[in-house]
Amino acid sequence: MSRALIILHRQTDRDRAAAWVRSAPWGTRITFQEAKRSTDQNARMWAMLTDVARQVQWDGQRLSADDWKLIFLQGLKQELRMVRNLDGNGFVQLGRSSSDLSVAEMADLIDLIAAFGARQGVVFGDQMETAA
């Protein structure tokens, strides 16, 4: 087996993982990770980013939801680096993708967006629904 993934949902998953560990050859790498962000969290993040993009002007310009995502990821203090682009006339931002965030990290990102939005007077879509 070159690569395998087990998501722990029940005892039989734990038992299968333990059996694989017991039979794995020496030198096998085993990684344990928190659950990745949920699809509901992802949808909420994009809705919030869209609301920010529509309502906030930053440095005299409107930014896309994708641009805001990068700004907020940097705000989480995720590892982000800048390197020259291939033509040498600009820069490319390197860093973690939001798809790699754990459930807890995604909750932190959503909280960061909400706090920023509150300071900027952003009315988020879910607030509009409750106000109606």
The identity of residue 7, as a single letter, is I
On whether both 19 and 41 belong to a single domain, the answer is no
Structure tokens given for 10:
């029940």
On whether both 46 and 75 belong to a single domain, the answer is yes
Count of other CB atoms within 10 angstroms of residue 69: 21
Q: Which letter, b or e, does each residue of 91-100 get, where b requires 16 or more Cβ atoms within 10 Å of its Cβ? A: eeeeeeebee
What average pLDDT does this structure show over 88-107?
84
On whether both 46 and 72 belong to a single domain, the answer is yes
Q: What is the pLDDT of residues 58-96, one digit of tens each?
A: 999 999 999 999 889 888 876 667 889 899 998 887 776
What average pLDDT does this structure show over 109-118?
96
Structure tokens given for 69:
């995502």
What average pLDDT does this structure show over 83-110?
87
> What residues make up the domain containing 16?
1-32
**Between these two residues, 43 and 129, which has the higher pLDDT value?**
43
Kindly calculate the radius of gyration of the chain based on its CA atoms and give it in whole angstroms: 20
On whether both 71 and 115 belong to a single domain, the answer is yes
| CATH number, domain containing residue 98 | 1.10.3790.10
